[in-house]
Structure 1
Amino acid sequence: MSTPELHRGIGVPAHAQIEQWLTAAIASGELAVGDRLPAERDLAADLGVSRMTLRHALAALERRGLLVRTPGRSGGAFVARPRIDCDLTGLAGFTEQMRRAGLAAEAAIRTAATVGADAATAAALELEPGDPVHEVSRVRSAEGAPVVLERSRFPAVRFADLLELDLSGSLYTLLRERYDMEPHTAVEHLEPRLASPGEAAELGIAEGTPLMLIERTAYTADGVPVEYAHDLFRPDRVRISVTSRWSGG
């Protein structure tokens, strides 16, 4: 990989020029997913900048999800997989979102049990605290890479035999085809949080890695609540979008 000549005194800092160069190399395919950049010492010397300047550029690319940096002798800076666009404008489950992205969705079931509804779950699903709900926790992956840790709760009174079914595919498809209670609308709240040790282990990331929590209550077209969920997304793998429309005022 040939390094560019950086220009001085043009109003664009050296770290920004390095960021632009590497961004273009990734976009053009000169640098492919999984490619490792040269060692910092060598790359900084080739570019004629300090390692601090280079690290500034690499950190910006990591924040944008273009690079992944790992410590240790076998570590370094690697070209990351492109982030997957997940549009919250329409109520599409993970399986459908991955289909739109041309990726194969996978599910690893962690828990599937009937539990008593806590206060938040009961309020969301219009139940009494302690009423039975089916809790299904799954790690969802795309092309073998963990993307989201899902925990969904469904009112047992409406889906009595849910846990006896195949839970490895789209749960929304099950709700539609077996129970005729397809989710139609949802209220969702987004909140950043840091990965706990258990969450980090499930998602294959370091403890304390930033995640995006989406808390969702899904309703049928008749307004019946059918799901209360907490989904933890890896923002280095997913870009969440919402389409807004001007309503006047």
Structure 2
Amino acid sequence: MRAASEPLKARRIYLLLKDKIASGELADGERLPGEFALAEEHSVSRVTIRQALDLLAGEDLIQKKSGLGTFVHRPPSKVRTVLADVANVFAHLIEMGRTTDVRLLSFDYVTPPDQIREALQLAPDERSQRSVRVRLVDGVPFSYLIAHVPERIGRLYSRDDLARMPLLELIERSGLTSASARQEISAVLSSPDVAAALDVDVGMPLVALRRTVYGKDGQPMEHLQALYRPDRYTLQMNLERTGDEGHRHWSPTAEVYRRERPRRRPPVRKVGKS
């Protein structure tokens, strides 16, 4: 029993240490505690710690220096992190579609599950166009996208179109206009097929987003389930205080990807003639 559980324990320690390195809690160049201290801290054997450290070393996240110890190593990433503004859904979708690459995994017309049927307000015998795509930045996958649109809309573009252009842009190209959206953000664990597509471990936590897009007439145009690698995708929302004194609250700003407010120039004082 002990031998069978050792690899699982080692992987748990590996993931814990990897997360601390990725978050900066363990800084680049920082010396890790010795194997005995780590074994005591995590209530495991030194063999388990050694296995976990071997996994980290295999990813070049630590370096073992003879006679000195084990040190955190964070090589500079050559892959950009995608930044998404939660309050500006459509501007972000179009921009992301134009600045990232896409890999189309499937394109079919299907009988959708009940949840999708209700979200798109489809008739009992109405099908949807279902696509599965992976988006990549700098050649590294960061999102797994499952999209459904009503078949009557899906017939307006082809598989080749979707392999080249963002879905929302294709829908709007056909004459339809998106007007609003409802989205929910949560987290899920990666399944084997998603993990393989995103090049992550099975069971890795992913950012999960569900979005239904509506046209000007209030009819649903698209339902999207998007799964994102948290190390390659960041959600942000810029806020500002609004309301009258005593009833002030935080509201999303209308600006996209704003990092900071521009500094106001001090007022120019007019000097009168003496």
Note whether the superposition's TM-score is higher than 0.5: yes
1:71 aligns with 2:55: yes
Contact 2:97/2:166 (8 A) holds in 1: no
Change (3 A) 1:216 1:141: same
Equivalent residue runs for 1:36-115 within 5 Å:
44=31, 50=34, 71=55, 74-77=58-61, 78-79=74-75, 80=77, 81=79, 83-92=81-90, 94=93, 96-97=95-96, 104-115=99-110
Partner of 1:44, secondary structure, is coil
Partner of 2:193: 198
More helix by share: 2
- Would you say how many aligned residue pairs link Structure 1 and Structure 2? 193
Q: CA RMSD in A?
A: 3.1
Aligned equivalent of 1:175? 171
Question: Is the CA contact 1:86–1:240 (under 8 Å) kept in the aligned structure 2?
Answer: yes
Structure 1 match to 2:16: none
Give the distance between the partners of 1:230 and 1:105, measured in 2 at CA: 18
1:38-87 Cα deviation digits (max 9, x unpaired): xxxxx638xxx65668xx9xxxxxxxxxxxx9816633314344532111
Give structure 1 stretches of 5+ with no counterpart. 1-14, 24-36, 38-42, 57-68
TM-score (norm 2): 0.61
1:22 offset after TM fit, Å?
A: 3.8
The residue aligned with 1:4 is none
Secondary structure of 1:207 counterpart: coil
Structure with bigger gyration radius: 2
Identity %: 21
1:171-215 CA deviation, whole Å, 9 max, x = no partner?
1111112x1113232100011111011110000011111101100
Structure 2 distance, partners of 1:70, 1:219, is 50
Distance of 2:162 and 2:27 partners within structure 1: 42
Q: CA deviation at 1:91?
A: 2.2
Q: How far apart in 1 are the matches of 2:177 and 2:54?
A: 42
Q: CA deviation at 1:163?
A: 3.3
**Aligned to 1:154, which of 144, 149, 155?**
149
TM-score (norm 1): 0.67
Q: CA–CA distance in 1 between the matches of 2:80 and 2:111?
A: 40
Distance 1:107 1:116, change over 3 A: same
Segments of 5+ residues of structure 2 without an aligned counterpart are: 1-19, 42-52, 62-73, 248-274
User: Kindly tell me: are residues 148 and 130 of structure 1, through their superposed partners in 2, closer, same or farther at Cα, counting changes over 3 Å?
Assistant: farther
